[in-house]
Amino acid sequence: MRDALVRLLGWRALFLHGDPLVWDRYRWLRRHLGRAVAGDRRPRTLDAGCGNGGFAIFAAAEGHEVLGISDTERELADARRRAQLLGIDHVAFEVHDLRELDSLPAPPEPYDNVICLEVIEHVIDDVAVLRALARRTRTGGRLLLSTPTAEHRPQYLEMRHQTAVEDGRHVRYGYSPAQLRRVVEAAGFSVAQLEGVGGILMQTVTDVQRRLNQTSGALGWALTLPLRALRVIDPFVTRRTGAAHLSYGVVATKVRDT
């Protein structure tokens, strides 16, 4: 069914496969990544922890030269197949562990943009990973990062006390704004913007979907799909209730190597 949706809706279908919060991250990234200008050099963009490749494919569709990396070959195989299905060039996918980037050869040119969405909460030494990404980014290049807030409401099966080992789960529940700024700046970036991503209504819909997924993933997705229309009032409700966003989105510029 997923490839059928890709054929029907194009690359946007890649953000409808999962929970509603994925679409919120796509909307945030779309505002900040920028489309390449025709005739100019294609911006070089790294999607660090690319998952199913949706954001990397989107960046390539916007005119970027993209490398998506993940430590999961199965997801990358899906990403390669869907990029080919969509006829989107200028995107490649490679298996790498982000914690071991410094052991790999440097890229032929530094990257203009690094996308790193919902990744650093899985890594114990988050600063080390961001430093490795900074070393692959040109001075003046950008980091586009999202990660959970320390204040968000727990999702279904999400505990506030996280695992102490890197087994794919979260090693920390989330970050305060001050903590996130310290981590990003310790890696050699300067934070230009920090904002909430994923309001309380989409968090609630995602929670319901995850509960239904325990019975059937297809059922959970289908029954909650109409509820995504609540997104249009989500910013207002989130502000009105004072609820925490699920994640912070950070736009940062590389200023130095560390």
Query: How many helices and strands (H and E) does the chain possess?
Result: 9, 7
CATH code for the domain in which residue 21 is found: 3.40.50.150
Whole-angstrom distance, CA of residue 47 vs CA of residue 16: 19
What's the mean pLDDT in 136-165? 91
Give the mean model confidence (pLDDT) for residues 43-64. 96
* Residue of higher predicted confidence among 157 and 25: 25
Region 92-101 average pLDDT: 96
In this structure, is residue 40 part of a structural domain?
Answer: yes
In a domain, 91, yes or no: yes
Is residue 194 assigned to a domain?
A: yes
The percentage of residues in the chain with a pLDDT greater than 90, rounded to a whole number, is 82
Q: Are residues 131 and 235 in the same domain?
A: no
| Shared domain check, 178 and 52 | yes
Give yes or no: residues 204 and 225 share one domain.
yes
Same domain, 31 and 115: yes
1, pLDDT greater than 80:
no
- At 123-136, the pLDDT tens digits run 999 999 999 999 99
25 and 79 co-located in one domain = yes
Q: Is residue 43 located within the same domain as residue 132? A: yes
**Inter-residue contact 83 to 54 (CB < 8 Å):** no
| 166 and 39 within one domain | yes
Q: Please state at what angle helix 54-61 crosses helix 73-86, rounded to 10 degrees.
A: 30
112 and 133 share a domain?
Answer: yes
Task: Confirm if 167 and 174 have CB atoms less than 8 A apart.
Answer: no
What's the mean pLDDT when you consider all of the chain? Answer: 94
Residue type at position 146: S
Same domain, yes or no, for 45 and 55? yes
- The per-residue pLDDT for 182 is 98
Is the pLDDT at 167 greater than 80? The verdict is: yes
For the question of whether the overall pTM of this predicted structure is more than 0.85, the answer is yes
The answer to whether residues 180 and 221 belong to one domain is no
- 102 assigned to some structural domain: no
Q: Is 112 part of a structural domain of the chain?
A: yes
Residue 168 exposed, middle or buried by CB count within 10 Å (0-12, 13-18, 19+):
exposed
Residue 204 lies in a domain: yes
The two three-digit tokens of residue 245, written as one number: 């966003």
Q: Structural domain tally of the chain?
A: 2
Q: For residue 92, what are the CA distances in angstroms to 68, 69, 228?
A: 6, 9, 31
Q: What is the pLDDT of residue 39?
A: 74
Question: 103 in a domain, yes or no?
Answer: no
Domain that holds residue 223: 200-242
3-state secondary structure of 143: strand
Q: Are residues 193 and 233 in the same domain?
A: no
Residues 214 and 145 in one domain: no
Average pLDDT of the segment spanning 54-63 = 96
Alpha-carbon gap, residue 120 to 173, rounded angstroms: 11
CB 129 within 8 A of CB 99: yes
Handedness of CA 210, 211, 216, 220 (dihedral sign): negative
CB–CB of 93/55 below 8 Å?
no
Average pLDDT over residues 233-253: 98
